[in-house]
């Protein structure tokens, strides 16, 4: 946290930049107010990089366009109906929004858009005091209607108005509290926290798309664990991601197993660590993080208390993959994300057992084939799934996976493993067997793919002989 004077100096430097100064002068000449607002002002106080330039104004969207057009390299309607206009000025992307006073009517899943009259009214309707800060331009006057600077110093998240009113206006703010708790490392003020718990059911008024976007932002923070705990502790997760609190399995005094909820959070944290340290994925990687969080959600459905105090979770990988697919579809994630996450959940147990017996080259090829383009994420997820406190066991599993990755690399170099396919394609199969397109071609192709996986490259002549031998037995 920087001092007020240092933050204002930093904001002054930002205001003097070509994009901000050009915009400020244009709005002043047009007789309208303009202020830098929200995240950029907050981050200037926190000493964080400023990535987005967000402004608020008393001008209507049509008036904003009239002012921006002559000075912008490009402009666009982000959502004129919502009061926001985007533009590119002096090489910088900016967003300018008319003062707002949105409210939900209690029935709609989206807010009614109402334009406000003053910056003070606009700020008091924002989500948290630390985001309800503005810098009037061009005179560089800080506007702090709810002691946002004080809350920045105290590292507290608090709503500018009564939390019941704020969350009633937009229940999504409760999810935003969880995201900012992780993103900023702040605590949620007691009254705000109590309101989140009391009003948790109101989140059902929010569209699945908005909930999805906020969950994705939370998972994309450097350490989302605090925010996820907040969602579970307040009951919000029970409405937006019920599989997460369900991992808190009831403890039986005669049957013991690891805490699946805590294990899943640890796996997520370790996956993020591997994601960053390996540097093989773009970070943050939402698919990996979703898979890490959800990899064991099949356990509550498959838990069985066995004689002697044992607990089993047979096929929780398959059940979990189906549950992950269902939940992510309900949250309106795109098909590629749904497919990738559910595939990783399904495959996350495949490796275990390798260290005890080892795998044939055929088994390694199948592992790679089944993972497909998710192989790197599967590497990270599998490594992250080791949370045992038994140091010897952890080291043995790490050594075994190191060995598996080494073998995959060697086979890939030898056989171009990433593109494993039979030596003969469908057209050649039809010509050799004298058959037409249909299911028989698929059967033959699968047979040759199994040969390829089991024996490696054998050449077209040998593949032809194996195909004819298979056909003779099948046709007999």
Q: pLDDT tens across 11-58, in order?
A: 999 999 999 999 999 999 999 999 999 999 999 999 888 888 999 999
* Enclosing domain of residue 191: 156-241
Are 143 and 267 in the same domain? no
Our CA angle for 313, 314, 319, nearest 5°, is: 90
Q: Is the pLDDT of residue 434 over 80?
A: yes
- Domain stops at, among 189, 214, 241: 241
* Domain C-terminal end among 131, 154, 177: 154
Answer yes or no: do 319 and 384 share one domain.
Answer: yes
Average pLDDT over residues 439-461: 89
Residue 218 pLDDT > 90, yes or no?
A: yes
- Model confidence at 362: pLDDT above 90: no
pLDDT at 8 over 90: no
> 35 with 57: CB under 8 angstroms?
yes
**Same domain as 98, residue 10:** yes
Looking at the fold, whether 387 and 250 belong to one and the same domain comes out as yes
Question: Do 187 and 275 sit in the same domain of this protein?
Answer: no
Task: Tell me, yes or no, whether 187 and 279 share the same domain.
Answer: no
What pLDDT sits at residue 137?
Answer: 94
What percent of the chain shows pLDDT beyond 90? 66
pLDDT of residue 254 exceeding 50: no
In the predicted model, what is the mean pLDDT of the chain? 89
92-98 vs 141-144, strand pairing mode:
unpaired
Residue percentage of the chain with pLDDT more than 70 = 92
Same domain, 254 and 124: no
For 77-85, which contacts have Cβ atoms below 8 Å and span 24 or more sequence positions?
A: 81/113, 82/113, 83/113, 83/115, 85/61
Q: Are 186 and 157 in contact (CB under 8 A)?
A: yes
Question: In whole angstroms, what is the distance from residue 247 CA to residue 153 CA?
Answer: 36
Can you tell me which residue has the tokens 């356990």?
A: 299
Q: What is the pLDDT of residues 315-334, one digit of tens each?
A: 899 999 999 999 999 999 99
Cα 75-80-83 angle, rounded to 5 deg: 105
Contact assessment for residue 195 and residue 163, using Cβ atoms and an 8 Å cutoff: yes
258 shares its domain with 332: yes
User: What is the 3-state secondary structure of the chain?
Assistant: CCCHHHHHHHHHHHHCCHHHHHHHHHHHHCCCCEEEECHHHHHHHHCCCCCCEEEEECCCHHHHHHHHCCCCCEEEEEEHHHCEEEEEECCEEEEEEECECCECCCCCCCCECCECCCHHHHHHCCCCHHHCEEEEECCCEEEECCCHHHHHHHCEECCCCCHHHHHHHCCHHHHHHHHHHHHHCCEECHHHHHHHHHCHHHHHHCCHHHHHHHHHHHHCCCCCHHHHHHHHHHCCHHHHCCCCHHHCCCCECCECCCCHHHHHHHHHHHHHHHHHHHCCCCCCCHHHHHHHHHCCCCHHHHCEECHHHCEECCCHHHHHHHHHHHHHHHCCCCHHHHHHHHHHHHHCCCCCCHHHHCCCHHHHHHHHHHHHHHHHHHHHHHHHCCCCCCHHHHHHHHHHHHHHHHHHHHHHHHHCHHHCCCCCCHHHHHHHHCCCCCHHHHHHHHHHHHHHHHHCCCCHHHHHHHHHHHHHHHHC
Q: What are the pLDDT digits (tens) for 115-173?
A: 878 999 999 989 999 999 999 999 999 999 999 999 999 999 999 999 999 999 899 99
Is it the case that residue 80 has pLDDT exceeding 80? no
Q: How confident is the model at residue 226 (pLDDT cuts 50, 70, 90)?
A: very high
Q: Are residues 21 and 143 in the same domain?
A: yes
| CATH code for the domain of 385 | 1.10.3210
Residue 257: pLDDT band (50, 70, 90) is low
pLDDT at position 474: 80
| Residue 38 CB neighbour total at 10 angstroms | 22
Interval 269-273 mean pLDDT: 97
Query: In total, how many domains does the chain have?
Result: 4
> Is the pTM for the entire model greater than 0.85?
no
In this structure, are residues 210 and 112 in contact, taking their beta carbons and an 8 Å threshold?
no
- Per mean pLDDT, which of 291-295, 425-429, 465-469 is the most reliable? 291-295
Residues 259 and 349 in one domain: yes
Same domain, residue pair 412 and 293 = yes
Identify the domain boundary among 216, 241, 266: 241
Q: Are residues 211 and 117 in the same domain?
A: no
Residue whose structure tokens are 């959070």: 265
What are the two backbone dihedrals, phi and then psi, of residue 292, each rounded to the nearest 5 degrees? -65, -45
1 — pLDDT class (breaks 50, 70, 90): low
The reported pLDDT for the residue numbered 108 is 52
pLDDT value, residue 411? 84
Rounded to whole angstroms, the Cα distance separating 400 from 350 reads: 13
């Amino acid at each position: 946290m920087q001092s007020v004077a240092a933050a204002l100096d930093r904001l002054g430097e930002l205001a003097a930049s070509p994009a901000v100064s050009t915009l400020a002068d244009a709005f002043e000449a047009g007789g309208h107010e303009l202020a830098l607002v929200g995240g950029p002002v907050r981050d200037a106080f926190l000493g964080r990089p400023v990535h987005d330039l967000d402004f608020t104004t008393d001008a209507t969207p049509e008036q904003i366009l009239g002012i921006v057009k002559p000075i912008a390299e490009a402009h666009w309607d982000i959502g004129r109906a919502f009061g926001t206009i985007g533009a590119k000025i002096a090489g910088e992307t900016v967003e300018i929004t008319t003062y707002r006073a949105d409210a939900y009517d209690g029935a709609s899943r989206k807010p009614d858009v109402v334009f406000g009259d003053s910056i003070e009214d606009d700020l008091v309707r924002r989500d948290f005091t630390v985001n309800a800060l503005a810098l009037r331009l061009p005179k560089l006057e800080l506007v702090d209607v709810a002691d946002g600077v004080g809350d920045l110093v105290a590292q507290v998240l608090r709503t500018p108005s009564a939390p019941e009113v704020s969350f009633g206006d937009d229940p999504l703010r409760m999810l935003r509290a969880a995201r900012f708790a992780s993103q900023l490392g702040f605590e949620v003020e007691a009254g705000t926290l109590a309101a989140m718990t009391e009003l948790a059911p109101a989140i059902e008024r929010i569209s699945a798309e908005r909930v999805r976007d906020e969950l994705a932002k939370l998972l994309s923070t450097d350490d989302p664990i605090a925010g996820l705990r907040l969602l579970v502790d307040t009951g919000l997760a029970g409405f937006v991601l019920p599989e997460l609190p369900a991992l808190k399995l009831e403890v039986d005094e005669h049957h013991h197993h690891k805490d699946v909820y805590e294990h899943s959070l640890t796996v997520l944290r370790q996956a993020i660590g591997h994601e960053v340290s390996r540097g093989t994925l773009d970070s943050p990687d939402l698919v990996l993080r979703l898979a890490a969080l959800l990899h064991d959600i099949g356990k509550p459905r498959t838990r069985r208390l066995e004689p002697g105090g044992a607990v089993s979770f047979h096929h929780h990988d398959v059940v979990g993959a189906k549950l992950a697919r269902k939940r992510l579809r309900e949250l309106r994630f795109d098909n590629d994300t749904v497919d990738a996450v559910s595939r990783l959940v399904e495959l996350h147990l495949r490796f275990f057992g390798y260290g005890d017996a080892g795998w044939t080259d055929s088994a390694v090829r199948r592992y790679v084939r089944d993972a497909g383009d998710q192989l790197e994420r599967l590497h990270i997820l599998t490594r992250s799934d080791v949370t045992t406190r038994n140091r010897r066991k952890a080291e043995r599993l790490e050594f075994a996976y190191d060995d598996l990755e080494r073998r995959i690399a060697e086979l890939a170099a030898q056989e171009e493993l990433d593109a494993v396919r039979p030596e003969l394609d469908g057209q050649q199969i039809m010509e050799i067997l004298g058959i037409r397109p249909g299911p028989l071609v698929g059967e033959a192709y699968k047979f040759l793919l199994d040969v390829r996986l089991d024996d490696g490259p054998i050449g077209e002549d040998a593949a032809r002989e194996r195909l004819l031998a298979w056909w003779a037995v099948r046709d007999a």
